[in-house]
Structure 1
């Protein structure tokens, strides 16, 4: 814990470094401000909760985590996971889930699971992220076109049906502002400007809506201010409350029925699955983000400390109204490109958003909801990684394509948890099948000065590949059936990289079978750690029956001595 902060104190204390991180923090803050609002709206909570997340989780995680440049906050990957929680348990249930996920993340980091990202195959990652992108884009059609829909309920295909039925209710004013915003989002990056495109797009969308409302009396659209309200000291306000995030226990906040959700064992039990999903997804995205940042910045993160930092951030954020957070790849990339090299940049990013809430809240209320939907459509497109997806389909091996498409389809049609679980199982099954195919035991013929006079009484087998539960029986099966004239079997295990209990049991059966038939066994060039495993189950050196060797020539000489011993 605190490893990133400690390293930064040692290496990032010059004024030039401090200045670079101040500028980077401000740059990322400008990017994170509208994104945090949009992502909170996407999961069904007021936009200020996304801002509170960027402030609290962004600062706490950077100070306690293991990456010097990660920027944490609400992310698009969480939308499909958090939206059902909000519908079922309300804001209170969401924050309790986030708090529980923080505890799980700390446990993951404390038990050294920081290398988790390394075991997740690339097709699984691309499959579920592309699926999440499709779901997010689908959910934005309602606000983008101004459809007359109270809410989108049910599974994905049912939601598509609801959208299709509501298409005749398209509100042309909303669609126009959404289209203008999306056009700016697409065109602006081509101008190579340093000003963030989404900031310009939202500004153009808001100005366009205001101008059109002034010149046309019938022009009206929904904005952040018209959809969201708050009450302070008995006075109702519109949009985002211009106040600091306040401490409040998550279980005191409302459930889906509007009453405080409370805390109980039954509630914790119901939310445990959701909390675990949030924790796993948060861990994967944060560690993947840290790996990407390492490649860009040339720095090295501590994966276990990063998980602990993410856990602490997710425990503290709900106490101030923050939703679940993780490291955001887009914001982290922008941070590195802007010169960010220490947690100071993330702290400045959080403080910038805090100041913006206090000073710009009235202006933020004028942002059109259609513009927010357009922003999220662009986020979904970038998240889908369409180019990588198509490239995998075109050039990857068949097994990887099957894994990719399965994860994608399950994420869209069901949910990410099922998709990742099935994807990992598929990847493991395909790996086992490949390993089983590569593992084999075949007779070995030599053309060597010391082995050319080997008689038919000595049989040599070359064992290849890892020997585990899937491959051991196949590889060693031939050794159970040897011709009667064979008196000594040599197993050349130079290319055996691992051996598990299933293989040990198979080796034990082979040794016993050979012994029962008065056939000697010589195991050649097996790694010492594997020899130790065999010795623990009783396969050890026995005069005239079992021997170990390091070179094949030595194995042949020992085999000849065994023949002499057996014939005497």
Structure 2
């Protein structure tokens, strides 16, 4: 008997979701829903892919090729039902630096290596490792990337006359300030108009493709009024049409050694963002992704993108969310998104020449704003000094030094601070009363549990390494109960990631129509819950002194006679 037959769970973990969908049965109605969602996402992705290609130091066609090739493979071979992939803002900084240091061939080699690293990570079952990246670190480097992306677009938005913009953050802004007298008011008007249009459409007509409408309107305005602004055509006069023939770059051992650190960075970013996007998709669509297969799919997609001359790719949270809201049912929607973009490349490439650079800068400002996650960032600033320090140090290192350094320092610092906080929770009691108290913890918590009530006990520190388990547990429950009791008497420590996971748990329970009761909360976790708006006065959750009180309250909330 084969290993896959003996262990079907393990075999299923390495099965692309597309295969599962077809095995379950695929109807014409499902295809219609997927096609509509794919077209909607393609409309959103079209200007975004061009803008990200340019921001990365490449050209708009490279972004589109990436969206087509990698987008198709990520959906076809990934572990998520509704994930949409392509170029993303997370790669902009890394790609720009690799091209500047090693040329475009160097980027292709780094992308190939990153693809192999991702496949190896999936086969080695590293898919669950994302839960060990602390929340303040993820938010800090994401916000740092957002700052860098926004800064990189100031030249085009203002139409500044600068031949070569410095790569580093502070010299870049010195160059901007020195060239302010050369600002092009026509470019400022086009960029500001596009930005205002995107913001207005998001507020008053969120279902319309704001990016595409802003690009078309600004292109028409520039053409009709003959405005003296840079366009894609003036910046990139020799954009090829169609998809290139796949080929390998000129590979040598020296080049591999030179780009290997960048390859690991690309693989890390691709894995982190893809799995984060898959988790978001699970929360929105009620699905459950296969993390290791998702990494393998991402790896194959990056190999394919590099062979066609594209950029690194990963799952895109905004495009995935658009896909879900547009009614996507299966991975076919993401594949259709790639097919629609391919049609544009084959028949509409000439239209790119009319797009003003200032309008693309406006799009990337909005991308940066979305990446900043300002609400989450502000929430973390209300956390204890240790979490706040990790957040701000990671942000500062990302902007001023290097993304790899920022992540390494952030994770190390968060781990050291966690150990320090754990040391503070240790108590030495000669009386033995503490041990007796722990032994008295009721082990038969499910006995006499009222119908419609579910109970979970959390024991030990609830930190970034185990925060995701709570959300997974809620998904495994199946039919949602009316009341959920969380027993937290044995939780001495709750960090920022754990608090965030609890907040998401409460929100998912609310959406499912369930109330949450927490019992026996210790002082430190109670303080953290207060900071994220889950305190007693907020009334989002109910508090009980002990499990018996929680059971009595649950009976009232569940309406059990």
Please tell me the TM-score bracket, short chain as reference: 0.7 to 0.9
Tell me how far 1:398 sits from its aligned partner.
1.7
Return the offset for 1:496. Answer: 12
Quote the offset at 1:193 in angstroms: 4.6
* Equivalence for 2:260: 272
From 354, 370, 391, the equivalent of 1:404 is 391
Do structure 1's residue 329 and structure 2's residue 317 form an aligned pair?
yes
Paired residue for 1:248? Answer: 247
Q: Secondary structure at the match of 1:341?
A: coil
The answer on 1:210 being equivalent to 2:198 is: no
Q: 2:378 aligns with which of 372, 385, 390?
A: 390
| Distance (whole Å) between structure 2 residues aligned to residue 45 and residue 279 of structure 1 | 19
TM-score, normalised to structure 1's length? 0.73
1:295-310 maps to which residues of 2 (within 5 A)?
295-310=283-298
Q: Does structure 1 residue 21 correspond to structure 2 residue 21?
A: no
Q: Residues 402 and 206 of structure 1: is their aligned pair in 2 closer, same or farther, counting only changes over 3 Å?
A: same
Structure 2 residue corresponding to 1:320, chosen from 308, 313, 317: 308
Give the match for residue 59 of structure 2: 46
Aligned to 1:340, which of 320, 328, 331? 328
- Looking at structure 2, the residues matched to 23 and 351 of structure 1 have their Cα atoms a distance apart, in angstroms, of 12
**C-alpha distance in 2, partners of 1:496/1:92?**
52
In structure 1, what is the Cα distance between the partners aligned to 2:167 and 2:229?
Answer: 27
8 Å CA contact retained: 2:201, 2:208? no
The equivalent position to 2:199 in structure 1, one of 186, 190, 208, is: 186
**Contact kept? 2:243, 2:308, Cα under 8 Å:** no
1: CA distance between counterparts of 2:361 and 2:145? 15
| 1:68 paired to 2:81 | yes
| Residue of structure 2 in register with 1:223 after alignment | 231
- The equivalent residue for 1:233 is none
8 Å Cα contact 1:124/1:424 also seen in 2: yes
- After TM superposition, give the deviation of residue 441 of structure 1 in Å: 2.6
| Residues 303 and 323 (structure 1), Cα distance of their counterparts in 2 relative to 1, 3 Å cut | same
- 1:540 aligns with none
> Relative to 1, partners in 2 of residues 1:445 and 1:334: Cα closer, same or farther, differing over 3 Å?
closer
Contact 1:12 1:18 in 2 (8 A): no
Question: C-alpha offsets along residues 483-517 of structure 1, whole Å, 9 cap, x if unaligned?
Answer: xxxxxxxxxxxx899xxxxxxxxxxxxxxxxxxxx
Counterparts in 2 of 1:27 and 1:465: CA distance versus 1, 3 Å: closer
Pair 1:440 & 2:439 matched: no
Q: What TM-score does the superposition give when structure 2 sets the normalisation length? A: 0.74
Listed as ranges, the gaps of 5+ residues in structure 1 are 214-218, 231-239, 252-261, 450-463, 467-494, 498-568
Partner of 1:429: 416
**Corresponding residue for 1:126?**
139
With over 3 angstroms needed to count, the CA separation of the structure-2 counterparts of 1:465 and 1:69, relative to structure 1, is closer
Give the Cα–Cα distance (whole angstroms) in 2 for the partners of residues 200 and 448 of structure 1: 66
SS at match of 1:69: coil
Kept in 2, the 8 Å contact 1:12–1:341? The answer is: no
Partner of 1:104: 117
Contact 1:58 / 1:73 at 8 angstroms: preserved in 2?
yes
Determine the structure 2 residue equivalent to 1:363. Answer: 351
Residue pairs, 1:279-298, within 5 angstroms = 279-298=267-286
Q: 1-side partners of 2:395 and 2:215: how far apart?
A: 31
TM-superposed deviation, 1:126:
0.8
The number of aligned residues is: 429
Distance 1:47 1:3 in 2: 30
Cα distance, 1:264 vs structure 2:
1.3
1:79 aligns to what? 92
Distance change in 2, residues 1:496/1:210 (3 Å): closer
Distance of aligned partners of 1:167 and 1:302 in 2 relative to their CA distance in 1, 3 Å threshold: same
- 1:452 corresponding residue in structure 2: none
CA distance in 2, matches of 1:99, 1:180: 39
Shift in Å, 1:109: 0.5
Q: Tell me the alpha carbon deviations over residues 355-380 of structure 1, each in whole angstroms, 9 at most, x when there is no partner.
A: 01112112121000111111111111
Cα–Cα, structure 1 residues 5 and 443, in superposed 2: closer, same or farther, change >3 Å? same
Counterparts of 2:104 and 2:144, CA distance in 1: 25
Q: How does 1:504-519 map to 2 (within 5 A)?
A: none
* SS state at 2:328 partner: coil
Q: Is the 8 A contact 1:278 1:324 kept in 2?
A: yes
Matched, 1:59 2:59: no
SS at match of 2:429: strand
Provide closer, same or farther for how the CA distance between residues 445 and 222 of structure 1 changes in structure 2, counting only shifts above 3 A: closer
- Aligned partner of 2:214 in structure 1 is 201
**C-alpha contact 1:440 1:465 (8 A) present in aligned 2:** no
